[in-house]
Amino acid sequence: MKKPALGVFFRVPESGRVKKRLAAEIGETAALQAYDSMLSATMDKISGLTAIDIYGFYEGDAARLKELPFEISFIRQHGNDLGERMADAFALLFGKKHEKVTLIGSDSPDLPLSFITAAFESLDASDLVLGPSEDGGYYLIGMKKLIEGIFKGVKWGTEDALKHTIANADDAGINYSLLPEWYDIDDLESLKRWENLTLS
């Protein structure tokens, strides 16, 4: 049996192209430094998941990937919106014969590893697992086969993204599990929250 797969969605760190909400508050240079720290913390954390194959799904300048100190396979994201890009990632990883696939972002650098392992365990009994974010989206989604239409009509970046995804699952009769709620870092308040937790 092939190892489960974890895909990390991220943007190649470049000034002016990451964390625009945060940059509006603290400036592009500081936002870039914060994002670089978040991405590194995320990758460092998941590197301990030796029983899982890890892939980095990136947006941005592929030439700069060699500057990143991460020893994983990089795959460019494809699609017009987040739903299309995630559906493409799931299809690609299931095409590699992984029987369980989970995707996360790089916006929750202190997400407990136990949440990720719990997601894979949940897929033993459920077809879909979601990790709700405090802002109404989700920090994690996992499946054991691609669920057609799961992202249909989802309004990304809104407080209804999770609700719409669950409604799609209900409409399709999909059995799903929910992980504990966590938070994303999108603004100065959430950045300070992470920094305070890191220092404590």
Residue 199 has pLDDT above 90, yes or no: no
Question: Domain residues of the chain, as ranges?
Answer: 5-199
Please state which CATH number belongs to domain 5-199.
Answer: 3.90.550.10
For 105-141, what is each residue's pLDDT tens digit? 999 999 999 999 999 999 999 999 999 999 999 999 9
Whole-number mean pLDDT of the chain? 95
Read off the pLDDT band of 200 (50, 70, 90): low
CA distance 140 to 148: 18
The predicted-structure confidence for 154-173, as pLDDT tens digits, reads as follows 999 999 999 999 999 999 99
Residue 109: closest CA among 153, 45, 50, 58 = 45
**pLDDT tens profile 90-108:** 999 999 999 999 999 999 9
User: What is the rounded distance in angstroms from the CA atom of residue 111 to the CA atom of residue 114?
Assistant: 8
